Amino acid sequence: MAGIEFLKGHGTQNDFVLLPDADGALDLTEARVAALCDRRRGLGADGVLRVVRTAAIGLPSEGEWFMDYRNADGSIAEMCGNGVRVFARYLVEAGLVAGREFVMGSRAGDRPVRVHDDLSVTVHMGPATVTGSSVTTVAGRPFSGVAVDVGNPHLVSAVDEDVSSLDLRDQPGFDRDFFPHGVNLEFVNMLGDGALRMRVHERGVGETRACGTGTVAAVAATLHLAGADSGSSTVDIPGGRVSVTVERGASTLTGPAEIVARGELDEHWWAGLG
């Protein structure tokens, strides 16, 4: 029985299983995504990127290819900034796009990308919009934060202590009335010259080593706290470094994209997950 093609990749160690599925034939249930992402009973990943033609998924986009993103728990999210870079590199290397500048679809809208000669990728991430303020609690301690919408929801807390000292193993508390669909929680140290250090607890995943949309949210939030609405910054996350520019109504994210492995899923295992 033929297997199902997969690739494994990561962007600043935010890791993904890619499932090439041009015609949208895979039945990608929540249970299958959760099993694939499980680091013991599956391949292990923070999320799944289904590579599907826009025409096959039936969602609006000018792009030929659509990033159908799922979190490790099987939930659907609107956007993934690290995933988009890995997805773009895959499209280029698989010869599925002409050239290195193209538009990809996502549930948060179209994302123009450019794959550079060194295979890092710049993504036009759209607006990063400050939507208010709220509070998160880590181990019972409250941290106030700036809420930012980057197509998906974020709450960014600038903290005085070194972010590496925070215990993010458990789900931090947040206001479910403010974030009825959940939220990604970023904790940030401002290092001077606009540089940031960040850790993140992602909706639908837990702590990850990087979150691309989160880095854009972090730059937008810290600019907001400084009374500005545009600027550029590097953001250091446990998995590496990205560069972010935020302007009024637009933002870009540049960072690495790696493909680590490719292979076939066992079809009996897949079928048994239902």
Q: Which of the residues are catalytic?
A: 80, 211
Q: Does 251 bind ligand LBFN2T5F (CB under 6 A)?
A: no
61 binds ligand LBFN2T5F (CB under 6 A): no
User: Is residue 222 at the binding interface for ligand LBFN2T5F, with CB under 6 A as the rule?
Assistant: no
Amino acid at 28: L
Q: Judged by CB under 6 A, which stretch of 22-30, 73-81, 108-116, 159-167 contacts ligand LBFN2T5F?
A: 73-81
Q: Is 106 in the site for ligand LBFN2T5F (CB under 6 A)?
A: no
By CB under 6 A, the count of residues binding ligand LBFN2T5F is 19
The DSSP line for 25-40 is: -S---HHHHHHHH-TT
Work out the number of other CB atoms within 10 angstroms of the CB of residue 226.
Answer: 11
DSSP designation for 271: H
Q: Give the H/E segment covering residue 148.
A: strand 141-149
212: annotated binding-site residue?
yes
- Residue nearer to ligand LBFN2T5F on the CB measure, 217 or 223: 217
Residue 18 belongs to what H/E stretch? strand 14-20
Q: Is 189 annotated as a binding residue?
A: no
User: How many Å apart are CA 29 and CA 7, to the nearest integer?
Assistant: 18
Single residue of 122, 213, 245, 251 touching ligand LBFN2T5F by CB under 6 A: 213
Question: 134 forms bridges with which residues in the sheet?
Answer: 145
Binding flag, residue 202, ligand LBFN2T5F (CB under 6 A): yes
List the Cα angle 55/26/21 in 5-degree steps.
55
Which bin fits 192, alpha (ψ -120 to 50), beta or left (φ > 0)?
Answer: left
Other C-beta atoms within 10 Å of 256: how many?
21
Residue 32 touching ligand LBFN2T5F (CB under 6 A): no
Any contact of residue 71 with ligand LBFN2T5F (CB under 6 A)? yes
H or E segment and range at residue 85: helix 81-93
Contact flag: residue 77 with ligand LBFN2T5F (CB under 6 A): yes
Q: Is 107 in the site for ligand LBFN2T5F (CB under 6 A)?
A: no
Binding site, annotated residues for substrate: 14, 71, 81-82, 152, 184, 202-203, 212-213
Positions touching ligand LBFN2T5F (CB under 6 A) are: 14, 47, 71, 77, 80-83, 152, 184, 202-205, 208, 211-214
